[in-house]
Amino acid sequence: MLSGLLMAYKLLAMAQVRWRRLDGAHHLPLVRAGSSRETRAADR
């Protein structure tokens, strides 16, 4: 059991190094404000 948890921890730690930044991070304030996807598409 403990070895399985250790392996899962190591796999997650390795994956975290490779994770990309969130694409479209500039849209987060709009999403938090409740803006819909259609509204954001119309603003382009």
Q: Which residue has the higher pLDDT, 19 or 12?
A: 12
- Dump pLDDT digits (tens) for 20-30: 666 677 777 88
Number of structural domains, the chain? 1
40, 27 contact by CB (below 8 A) = yes
pTM: 0.40
Q: What is the pLDDT of residue 7?
A: 94
Q: Which residue has the higher pLDDT, 5 or 43?
A: 5
Q: What is the pLDDT of residue 6?
A: 93
Range of the domain at 23: 2-42
Burial (CB count within 10 angstroms: exposed 0-12, middle 13-18, buried 19+), residue 16: exposed
Q: What is the pLDDT of residue 10?
A: 93
Alpha carbon 26 to its chain's center: 13
